[in-house]
Amino acid sequence: MEIGTVLALSALVLMVAALYSSVGHGGASGYLAVLSLFAFAPVQMATTALVLNVLVAVAGVVAFWRAGHLSWRLLLPFAMASVPAAFLGGLLGIKSEAYSLLLAAVLAFAALRLGLRIEPRASAEVPRKPPLGVALTTGGVLGFLSGVVGVGGGIFLSPLLILWGWATIKTTAAVSAGFIVVNSLSGLLGRALSGNFEIGALAFLIPVAFVGGLLGSYLGARRFSGLLLRRLLAVVLAVAAVKLVLTALS
């Protein structure tokens, strides 16, 4: 790998890890967007994104937990269903064209999610606990998608927690980080058992993402992130989604 590519990847992954971790996310959709711009193999992209996801999200869990924002009671029902579903998703192998289109849809959703300011419902002054059946179903669906694509699912869970009044902004970030950790680990286990675990030359990104995660999670737990930076990241995701669609169709 050329030195220019290494430097570009390092800078982009550092930025993605810092920005995503500031809002309680591991950054998998961002890593996948970056890697897709450099045309790495799908199996390598998904594995690398999940590994980086775990490191960054763990830093987020610790930071938000120490700041008093993590609700284990809220996290548990989502995680109970998502872990086995993410494992099954990680076992599933799909063709590169189908993977590109599915990933493009995930990146487009992530771009929309990051580009918009999502506020709690006006009626939700005090967070209310979600029904157990709804939490289990939601966790299972998001977990399976996470395992297949190579994301942690936090980018989907967090807007649901906010819009339905199930958590405050800070608690949402903390619960999303925990959700991402368990899903990513389960997805990685499924990939390892099915022979779809591959990082190779991208291993140098592990310490880069960890540093970015430490910085972003500290700022997110103790400060707040700017909407402008999130919208800039949304543009990057949207561009990557378009590129993936064009590549798959060609």
Range of the domain at 63: 3-249
For residue 190, what pLDDT is reported? 86
Q: What's the pLDDT at 102?
A: 78
Q: Please calculate the CA angle 234-63-141 and round it to the nearest 5 degrees.
A: 55
Q: What's the confidence (pLDDT) of residue 123?
A: 45
Tokens of 154: 């936090």
Domain total in the chain: 1
The pLDDT of residue 85: 92
Burial of residue 195 (number of CB atoms within 10 Å: 0-12, 13-18, 19+): exposed
Instruction: For 114-134, write each residue's pLDDT tens digit.
Output: 666 655 554 445 577 889 999
C-alpha span between 8 and 3 (Å, rounded): 9
Residue from 20, 2, 6 nearest 202 by CA: 6
**CB-count exposure of residue 87 (10 Å: 0-12, 13-18, 19+):** buried
- Three-state DSSP at 16 gives helix
Residue 208: the pLDDT is 94
Residues 203-223 as b/e (b if ≥16 CB within 10 A, e otherwise) read eebeebbbbbbbbbbbbbbee
pLDDT at 105: 82
Say if CB 96 and CB 153 are below 8 A apart.
Answer: no
**Rounded distance, CA 205 to CA 192, Å?**
19
Output the pLDDT for position 124. 45
What is the C-alpha to C-alpha distance for residues 175 and 154, in angstroms, rounded to an integer? Answer: 8
- With a cut of 50, list the residues of the chain below it in pLDDT: 122-124, 225
